[in-house]
Amino acid sequence: MQASVAERRSSAQNQLKTLLETRTETLSLYSQLANMRPFELDREMQLMIQEFCEALVDYSASAHFQLYRYLEDKNERRAAVLEVAEQVYPRIAESTRVFLDFNEKYDCEEHCNNLSHLDTDLSRLGELLADRIVLEDEVISAMAKKAL
């Protein structure tokens, strides 16, 4: 049995809410981490990096599972939304790869003994986060428009 338009839109709204919550948490932790400059390897720094890495991975996964899975499962039928999603998805996927690389490099549960490149890596990551937000917002904006 097919879900009604209202049910699909409600589901989409809930999924977008989850995405925005994980995105907000990630940005907040990014800001906290960036404000800890200069980066010195101590327990507080390790805990902050670990918390940020976990949030970054959660946010990245949220975009894929909350937004793109919804689209892949054919729950969205509006061509305009699908077209925007198809255009931006490769760049979002690339940012996910960079996020996972950052996590791999700085995951303090495994290793976190060299912060010599953290400042540069964090700056690059901040730019990528900003770009990704713009791309996600294009999809969200398309989804927010009423069907004609």
Tell me the whole-structure pTM to 2 decimals: 0.85
Distance separating alpha carbons of residues 45 and 108, to the nearest angstrom: 9
Residues 80-107 have a mean pLDDT of 91
Q: Are 60 and 100 in contact (CB under 8 A)?
A: yes
Q: Give me the residue label for tokens 């003994």.
A: 113
Mean pLDDT over all residues of the chain?
Answer: 86
Distance separating alpha carbons of residues 105 and 69, to the nearest angstrom: 27
* Residue pLDDT, tens place only, 83-93: 898 899 889 98
Number of structural domains, the chain? 1
Structure tokens at 15: 């999924």
What CATH number is associated with residue 68? 1.20.120.1370
Residue 137: which domain range?
Answer: 5-144
- The C-alpha R_g of the chain, in whole angstroms, comes to 17
